[in-house]
Amino acid sequence: MNSAATTIFDEIPVREGAEESDAVPQSVLLFYLGTAFLLGVLNQFSIRMVGLMPVNELLLCAVLGHAALWLVLAHRLPGPLPAPRLLGVILACQVLGFAGYMLSDLWRQSQTGDMIRGWSRMLFLAIDIGAFSLLFGATRRAFTFLQIGLIFSFVECLVHGPLFGDYWKFGFAFPVTLAVLLAAPRWFGDRGAIAACLLLGAVHSLLDFRSLGGVCLLLGALLALRSIHLLTRKFVLLGGSLLVLCVLPWGIQRAFSDSGDRATRSNVERSAMLQAAWEGFAKSPLLGQGSWFSNSNVMDEFLIIRTQNARLAGVGGFADDDADGMAIHSQILVALAEGGVFGAAFFFAYGALLLWGVWFCLTDAPWDWELPVRIFVLLIAFWNLLMSPFSGTHRVEIAMAVVLLLLLWKQRAQLLHSSPSSTPCDG
């Protein structure tokens, strides 16, 4: 292992001059790669326990159990962890968030079942991050195997049927997108990746998957930026970021405007969720409203706001009392509303790291055929941070994105050590 990696991984005993995969026993490596592939295939499968628990979390618990046994018998982990110091900071933020949830639930006297669900959600997120750190730290190929497995995740919709009967949006869209993003750069290089992203964006938009279509079009534009000089690229990215901040209010209003009955119903519900969560946080920014809002009026407010929005948009079909079991679609807003600013500590750090990860991939990271998929994962993770629930399968996806960021952090450290005065990918 080179000296930069030795500095990062000084807590983990590995052989001098060896790569990460060389430092891991072959049996462990095969176990990790097979597990990563299965995590992809089984990504959409869940079982009902306290709430809906992804099957993947059972596999991730098995990975941690195996590592704990290895640590007891061999007095070391099976392999290195990526960027363990940054991992420690992230887990510390998660512990702070867990403490925020506990304080909020005890203060609000949340119902026992909802309290257990809320605390379990925070605990399993930490477990998932730890297990993915073992998988990706042992070999970077585990990330590739996971993405290949995700290509076959459509099997769940064939077994149970897709949500709302939409086979494309809830069955084949993500697998097809990942297959194209893995194949196009490997066979046709960076220009092939750009063309593939633009084509995917058009297809998703035509098939009414607006969010994924927008992400693919954005990915194509960002990859095209890598063709210009590094310094110019950084100025363009900074200017573009400021422009996005300026037009964001208009963009949100446009996104939630009328665009067909089905889209309007989705917009009405999502906008009501965001408004209810924000108002819940504003009423108690330090303590929050407790896990799943079991002893607060946040969900009642959601129903009122949704009814008002539906009336203004001219759509109907919403029941007045169907909020039971519904998860608000915004990871950071629901953490703020449930646990207050302390409960959302992890998501603040996570959001900042996602922005850094995209910046690094577009500026200093060298070209690699997996780079489009990495950026895609980060963009989807940032969208989910803003517009997807903090529950079920999303916990596993958050953990996977966190450990991808750790890999990128490690890569940055290695680049700085190997050529501190050079620019690794100067357009």
The DSSP call for residue 292 is G
Task: Calculate mean pLDDT across residues 407-425.
Answer: 76
Q: Which of 94-103, 159-168, 214-223 has the lowest mean pLDDT?
A: 159-168
What are residue 48's DSSP bridge partners?
A: 52
- Taking residue 240's Cβ as centre, other Cβ atoms within 10 Å add up to 13
CA distance linking residue 169 with residue 173, whole number of Å: 5
Task: Calculate mean pLDDT across residues 342-369.
Answer: 95
The secondary element (H helix, E strand) that includes residue 209 is none
- Tokens for 323? 């909020």
- The predicted structure's pLDDT at residue 425: 43
CA distance linking residue 179 with residue 421, whole number of Å: 37
- CA distances for 404 relative to 9, 83, 132, 141, 300, angstroms: 16, 11, 9, 12, 38
* Predicted confidence band of residue 356 (pLDDT cuts 50, 70, 90): very high
CA distance linking residue 366 with residue 362, whole number of Å: 9
* Predicted confidence band of residue 53 (pLDDT cuts 50, 70, 90): confident
- Please identify which residue in the block is written with the tokens 């980060």: 378
Flag whether 377 is in a domain: yes
Q: Looking at the predicted structure, is the pLDDT value of residue 12 above 70? A: no
- Taking residue 127's Cβ as centre, other Cβ atoms within 10 Å add up to 17
Q: At 254, is the secondary structure helix, strand, or coil? A: helix
Q: Which of 242-246, 273-277, 349-353 has the lowest mean pLDDT?
A: 242-246
- CA distances for 396 relative to 127, 132, 399, angstroms: 10, 9, 5
Mean pLDDT, rounded, of the chain: 86
Flag whether 54 is in a domain: yes
- Taking residue 251's Cβ as centre, other Cβ atoms within 10 Å add up to 11
Domain that holds residue 185: 3-258+327-418
- The predicted structure's pLDDT at residue 161: 81
- The predicted structure's pLDDT at residue 256: 55
- The predicted structure's pLDDT at residue 418: 81
* Predicted confidence band of residue 427 (pLDDT cuts 50, 70, 90): very low
What backbone phi and psi angles, to 5 degrees, belong to 399? -60, -40
Flag whether 321 is in a domain: no
Task: Calculate mean pLDDT across residues 408-415.
Answer: 94
Q: Looking at the predicted structure, is the pLDDT value of residue 177 above 90? A: yes
- Tokens for 238? 């900074």
- The predicted structure's pLDDT at residue 261: 52
Flag whether 313 is in a domain: no
- The predicted structure's pLDDT at residue 164: 72
Q: Tell me which residue of 40, 382, 402, 379 sits closest to 216, measured CA to CA.
A: 379
The DSSP call for residue 423 is -
- The predicted structure's pLDDT at residue 35: 97
Flag whether 275 is in a domain: no
53-59-64 Cα angle (round to 5): 110
* Predicted confidence band of residue 378 (pLDDT cuts 50, 70, 90): very high
Flag whether 290 is in a domain: no
Task: Calculate mean pLDDT across residues 384-392.
Answer: 89
Flag whether 271 is in a domain: no
- CA distances for 362 relative to 147, 224, 238, angstroms: 21, 10, 12
- The predicted structure's pLDDT at residue 306: 84
- The predicted structure's pLDDT at residue 160: 84
Flag whether 280 is in a domain: no
Task: Calculate mean pLDDT across residues 182-199.
Answer: 95
CA distance linking residue 286 with residue 281, whole number of Å: 8
* Predicted confidence band of residue 42 (pLDDT cuts 50, 70, 90): very high
Task: Calculate mean pLDDT across residues 80-94.
Answer: 95
Q: Tell me which residue of 130, 118, 116, 117 sits closest to 57, measured CA to CA.
A: 130
pLDDT tens figures, 107-122? 999 999 889 989 999 9
CA distance linking residue 288 with residue 266, whole number of Å: 26
- The predicted structure's pLDDT at residue 317: 59
- CA distances for 237 relative to 191, 228, 346, angstroms: 20, 11, 26
Q: With 0-12 CB in 10 A as exposed, 13-18 as middle and 19+ as buried, what is 367?
A: middle
Domain count along the chain: 1
